[in-house]
Amino acid sequence: MITPTSSIIIALICAVLGGFAQILFKKGADNLKFDLSMLKNYPLIFGLGLYGLSAVLFIFALRNGELSTLYPIIATTYIWVNLLAVKFLNERMNIYKLSGTALIIAGVILTSVI
């Protein structure tokens, strides 16, 4: 079974959406209170929405594609989270985070491709 390009593109979109969801989770978590104000915690709500959307889209990608191809693409989420956190949350990268992310992605490729 060869994974069609459309599935690969959908999985890539899922990964980027998943990255944005994490940034929104972080923004929402900073103002997290367990009371009615949660209903007005829009970053949290949109984050959950994106998270769900990404999961549903991934199922569509899986319908025509192979998990061993698509899972490493989902693992690019680790890259998107880093990029977006630097851009929107002013978090800083360092050599440990960079090499750690690279090792994790290499690990995901090994666990799912071979």
Partner 1 sequence: MKKMSSKKRKINAKTESKKTKTWAILLVVFCGFLGAIAQLLLKIGSERINESITSIFNLPLLFGFVFYGLATILFIISLKHGEVTILYPIIATSYVWVSLFSSYFLHENITLAKWGGDLLIILGVSLIGYSSKISSNTGVNK
79 vs 83: CA distance, rounded Å? 6
Site string for partner 1, 17-46 (x = CB under 8 A): -----xx-xx-xxx-x-----------x--
| Identity at 103, one-letter amino acid code | L
Is 66 a binding residue for partner 1 by CB under 8 A? The answer is no
Long-range contacts: 42-47, Cβ < 8 Å, 24+?
Answer: 47/20, 47/21, 47/22, 47/23
Question: In the complex, what is the shortest distance from the CB of residue 39 to partner 1, in angstroms, rounded to a whole number?
Answer: 15
* Candidates 7-15, 61-69, 98-106; binding stretch for partner 1 (CB under 8 A): 98-106
Is 96 a binding residue for partner 1 by CB under 8 A? The answer is yes
